[in-house]
């Protein structure tokens, strides 16, 4: 069961992660968005139209899982329906990042999934990153299409738009976005050189299972001796 997070802590995590996304050129200006659950009924989310390098804790908006604003002076992200739809559909999701990173967005613009080209991608994703059917930004249709593409996956491409990733922490969601971008970059390079050789399905299943059962827990400081 999820423990409630202090609102101030949630806001600070969003600001710090937003700065990292700008530094890594995963977003520009005020585009892209991120959120983190405070408890099962509410989350903190970035405001609409505000640049990440100038955000303060007071700018972060608190909403419930219907998208209703609970606290904050600013308008919540226009992609609020995307975030709330993912939280409702995937209870394990505790944080979400939506980026516009270059190579992943290029794949999204081509409506091409990012295939199983590298091991770290399949360890986290469990296979290729699917493309959600196109819909206008900020709409419920976009949110519904993203949830469909995210089935059993932690990331999806949004056609002609960008990428959305979820994690059990905001740090984990950002790491997934970073690995998706790296895999997209490698895939785009391979496409200019004759095409990549994809990983076998059986190996993908083994690596994904190992990541879920063991390696992901080591990343948060739990050794195998602590696993049930």
Entry pTM: 0.90
Active site residue 8: no
Percent of the chain with pLDDT over 90: 82
- DSSP result, 102-165: HHHHHHHHTT--B-S-SHHHHHHHSSPBPEEPP--TTSHHHHHHHHHHTTT-SEEEETTTEEEE
Q: Where are the alpha helices (DSSP H) in the chain?
A: 7-23, 80-89, 102-109, 119-125, 140-149, 170-191, 201-210, 216-219
Query: What's residue 227's pLDDT?
Result: 36
Could you tell me the end-to-end alpha-carbon distance of the chain, in angstroms, rounded to an integer?
A: 16
Tens of pLDDT, residues 74-120: 999 999 999 999 999 999 999 999 999 999 999 999 999 999 999 99
Cα separation values, 147 from 41, 49, 89, 214, Å: 19, 24, 7, 26
The percent of residues in the chain predicted with pLDDT above 70, rounded, is 92
Are the C-beta atoms of residues 126 and 153 closer than 8 Å to each other? yes
Domain boundaries, the chain: 7-220
The string of pLDDT tens digits covering residues 174-196 is 999 999 999 999 999 999 999 99
Tell me: the pLDDT tens digits for 133-144?
999 999 999 999
pLDDT reported for residue 223: 60
pLDDT band at 53 (very low <50, low <70, confident <90, very high): confident
pLDDT (0 to 100) of residue 217 = 63
Q: Which of 79, 130, 178, 181 is catalytic?
A: 79
Q: Is the pLDDT of residue 218 over 80?
A: no
CATH superfamily for 7-220 is: Class II aldolase/adducin N-terminal domain (3.40.225.10)
């Amino acid at each position: 069961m999820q423990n409630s997070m202090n609102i101030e802590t949630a806001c600070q995590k969003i600001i710090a992660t937003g700065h990292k996304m700008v530094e890594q050129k995963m977003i520009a200006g005020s585009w892209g968005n991120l959120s983190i659950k405070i408890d099962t009924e509410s989350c903190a989310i970035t405001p609409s139209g505000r640049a990440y390098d100038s955000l303060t804790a007071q700018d972060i908006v608190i909403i419930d899982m219907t998208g209703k604003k609970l606290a904050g002076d600013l308008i919540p992200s226009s992609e609020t329906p995307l975030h709330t739809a993912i939280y409702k559909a995937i209870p394990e999701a505790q944080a979400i990042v939506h980026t516009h990173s270059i190579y992943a967005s290029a794949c999204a613009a081509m409506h091409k999934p990012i295939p199983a080209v590298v091991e770290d991608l399949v360890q986290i994703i469990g296979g290729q990153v699917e493309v959600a059917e196109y819909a206008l930004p900020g709409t419920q249709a976009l949110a519904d299409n993203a949830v469909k593409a995210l089935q059993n996956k932690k990331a999806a491409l949004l056609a002609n738009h960008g990428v959305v990733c979820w994690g059990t922490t905001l740090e984990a969601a950002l790491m997934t976005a970073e690995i998706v971008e790296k895999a997209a970059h490698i895939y785009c390079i391979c496409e200019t050189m004759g095409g990549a050789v994809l990983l076998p399905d059986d190996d993908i299943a083994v690596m994904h299972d190992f990541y879920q059962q063991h390696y992901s827990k080591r990343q948060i400081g739990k050794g195998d001796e602590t696993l049930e």
